[in-house]
Structure 1
Amino acid sequence: MSVDLVGSTAFKQANQRAFKSDEKSEASLAEPWFSPIAQFYKEIERLFAREWQSYVDGLAARLRWPPGPAPELWKSAGDELLYVKVLTDHRQAAACILCWKRTVEEYRVQLKKHYPSLDLKCTAWIAGFPITNTEVVFSKSVDAGEIPDDDDPLYVNLDLLHRYYLNSKDPNLTKDFIGPSVDTGFRLCGLSSPRKFVISVDLALMIVHAIRARPPGAEEISIVLHYQGRVHLKGVLGGKSYPVFWIDMAVDSGLDRLEDRLLEIQPRNTDDIKLFCEEFFSSHSGSVMIPYIAGNPDPYFANIPEWHIEKINRLREYWEQESHRRALEQESLTSEGGGKEPEKEQVASLFASLVKVILDNSPTKGN
């Protein structure tokens, strides 16, 4: 989930104090653009935490919907905040988007009251791991002793992931996400606007499925989707058009509503959205698929392709076998050389001796 402060660059440029040295009051200690930016970070965090906890304690408890892990900050990118939520049940997607929508709407009222030139826009998408997309772990410190020198990037990343999950509080490790779905999400961010909260097609399918199956008493889980049509997203789907769904974030405006009538912009039926999304995934099965969540109670989102299971098993086997091999290798080095790797000269001498033994015992000696 992304929320971006619209107009912040122009706001900072117009309110810079770099060349205004005549201001000496305490109020001038901070740059004039600092307060709204800092408040944006703080208030989004506070309001989102409140909305999520309200959902967990209220609707989720009443309906016995498992909330799963709480959303957490992924990263900040300039004046954009990105949050991530691990989905353990497809209904969490609808609940989380509803909480995110309410957070942005509430803070927008505060923002526009004090800084009319600023606004917010948001985007949301989903990505599956570890197939198709990958979690990557980095060392925060540029310290040669902390950064492994290894020509096997797959093993290095698996090893760092293992360390990260064993000790997620390690101050020198940070996690990020990369992959086609992540790239698609950032492309969709470029289509969002203060009015249009753009979401990915797989997220749209999760949301409408949850809404269609909601029990009595869950009317609060209400998210109205619009459809913009298919657009070209650079590098996505091999050049094929991508369907764009969005949630209306507009403040009630008579002019907007009249314009919507002229342009025939209206909410779409969940049945039509579901049928379209299913056909889209079927027509582009080589690039995208209906998402799944391992252990999801609804079989609609629990269908794990057999080749995904095979690949995950191979990945696990590789990690275990390679870790075991390296542990034995390190143990051998430790027992033979006090834990120190042999010097280059020693390696060269051992190699020369090995070559001599091979040649002396070779049936083709002299060739």
Structure 2
Amino acid sequence: MIRLFLSVDMVGSTEFKARFAAQGNQGWLEIFRAFFSNFPLMLAGQVGFEFIDDECTPSIDVWKAMGDEIIFAAEPQSPDEAVSILRALLRAMALYEAKYFDRLPLRLKGTAWIAAFGEQNIELDIAELAAGDGASHIDFIGPDVDLGFRLSKFSRPSSLVVSLDLLEQLLDAGNVGTLAFHLVGREELKGVMFGRPYPVIWASDADCGFDFLPWEVEACPLMAAAMASGPTDSQRLRDTIDDMRHYLRKMHGVDRAPLGFGSPDARDPR
């Protein structure tokens, strides 16, 4: 089984809360309470809108909340469905900022990745955390799950950073043209690809592009690179994926099979 994970995190939240705390003011609480209550509803609405002409609407469930971050889990049945989910997420992020953060120094950033569950990644039913009504509490553990948390360090406002496994599936979607992808650099991720720098790829809505603020671009080399170079063509993205797969095979004797929706678990060595 392949699961899609989506992380949405607040940018600027630490400084924002510290400003209130310095004044002995807890006014920030309602803003954060609203985020955890309202953003999942807004995302559900955008997913419904995206799939309005389809017979079924995919379920996007909250997996967990960590700090100022909400992490969702979904089970796309095809690359096209995954593309539509990401478009809905990007739209929800933009709408939420416009409605709730218009006069606040807060923004939203996102991360999207996939993990195959079988041998390498597992699901755990944690009885001690189960709800009082008998509903189980499922947690997800494994290297593919960890990858997203490593990768999220390089997410930025108004975009989604996506894993290579997910990107490979998105490139095969019939509606892939509704998203734009930007290879903005390479960064080492702890415990990933044997220390070789991992490609940092951002996705944006092809119609809207990025909504970076001028001072954000000035301060962030990755944002500046995205604005200067524009979208990366699909062949270069495929070559980047093939290069990393060749590296694993040549230097470490590892064959990394594509992690396709509906495929068996493909092991990802660390």
Alignment partner for residue 225 of structure 1, among 181, 185, 196?
181
- Residue in structure 2 matched with residue 266 of structure 1 by the alignment: 230
Alignment partner for residue 293 of structure 1, among 254, 261, 264?
261
- Do structure 1's residue 82 and structure 2's residue 74 form an aligned pair? no
Gaps of 5+ in 2: 1-5
Q: How many residues align?
A: 249
Distance 1:8 1:106 in 2: 18
Distance 1:127 1:262 in 2: 27
Q: Aligned pair in 2 of structure 1 residues 111, 240: CA closer, same or farther (>3 Å)?
A: same
- Residue in structure 1 matched with residue 3 of structure 2 by the alignment: none
Gaps of 5+ in 1: 21-30, 142-163, 295-301, 309-367
1:138-180 Cα deviation digits (max 9, x unpaired): 1226xxxxxxxxxxxxxxxxxxxxxx9xx9x624x31111111
Q: CA deviation at 1:18?
A: 8.7
- Residue in structure 2 matched with residue 344 of structure 1 by the alignment: none
**Alpha carbons 2:159, 2:203 under 8 Å: kept:** yes
Q: Is the strand fraction higher in 1 or 2? A: 2
1:310-350 Cα deviation digits (max 9, x unpaired): xxxxxxxxxxxxxxxxxxxxxxxxxxxxxxxxxxxxxxxxx
Distance 1:12 1:205 in 2: 38
Q: Tell me: higher relative CO, structure 1 or 2? Use CA pairs within 8 A at least 6 residues apart.
A: 2
**Alpha carbons 1:278, 1:290 under 8 Å: kept:** no
Pairing of 1:87-98 with structure 2 (within 5 A):
87-98=76-87
- Residue in structure 2 matched with residue 8 of structure 1 by the alignment: 13
1:65-92 Cα deviation digits (max 9, x unpaired): x65x411000101110000101222222
Distance 2:84 2:227 in 1: 30
- Residue in structure 2 matched with residue 134 of structure 1 by the alignment: 122
**Alpha carbons 2:150, 2:189 under 8 Å: kept:** yes
Distance 1:287 1:44 in 2: 39
Of structures 1 and 2, the larger Rg is shown by 1
Alignment partner for residue 125 of structure 1, among 106, 113, 123?
113
Alignment partner for residue 197 of structure 2, among 207, 227, 241?
241
Alignment partner for residue 100 of structure 1, among 78, 89, 99?
89
Distance 2:27 2:152 in 1: 28
Q: Is the helix fraction higher in 1 or 2? A: 1
**Alpha carbons 2:90, 2:159 under 8 Å: kept:** no
Q: Which amino acid aligns with 2:123?
A: E
Q: Aligned pair in 2 of structure 1 residues 138, 49: CA closer, same or farther (>3 Å)?
A: same
Distance 1:188 1:252 in 2: 20
Q: Secondary structure at the match of 2:145?
A: helix
- Do structure 1's residue 250 and structure 2's residue 189 form an aligned pair? no
Pairing of 1:306-345 with structure 2 (within 5 A):
none
> Identity of counterpart residues, as a percentage?
25
- Residue in structure 2 matched with residue 284 of structure 1 by the alignment: 248
Distance 2:44 2:227 in 1: 37
- Do structure 1's residue 197 and structure 2's residue 186 form an aligned pair? no
Q: Secondary structure at the match of 1:224?
A: strand
- Residue in structure 2 matched with residue 188 of structure 1 by the alignment: 151
Distance 1:75 1:235 in 2: 23
Q: CA deviation at 1:261?
A: 8.1
Q: CA deviation at 1:192?
A: 1.0
Q: CA deviation at 1:112?
A: 2.9
**Alpha carbons 1:135, 1:176 under 8 Å: kept:** yes
TM-score, normalisation: structure 1: 0.60
Distance 1:235 1:278 in 2: 20
Q: Aligned pair in 2 of structure 1 residues 240, 92: CA closer, same or farther (>3 Å)?
A: same
Q: Which amino acid aligns with 1:228?
A: V
Q: Aligned pair in 2 of structure 1 residues 237, 114: CA closer, same or farther (>3 Å)?
A: same
Q: Secondary structure at the match of 2:62?
A: strand
Distance 2:255 2:89 in 1: 29
**Alpha carbons 2:114, 2:144 under 8 Å: kept:** yes
Distance 1:13 1:278 in 2: 45
TM-score, normalisation: structure 2: 0.80
**Alpha carbons 1:120, 1:194 under 8 Å: kept:** yes
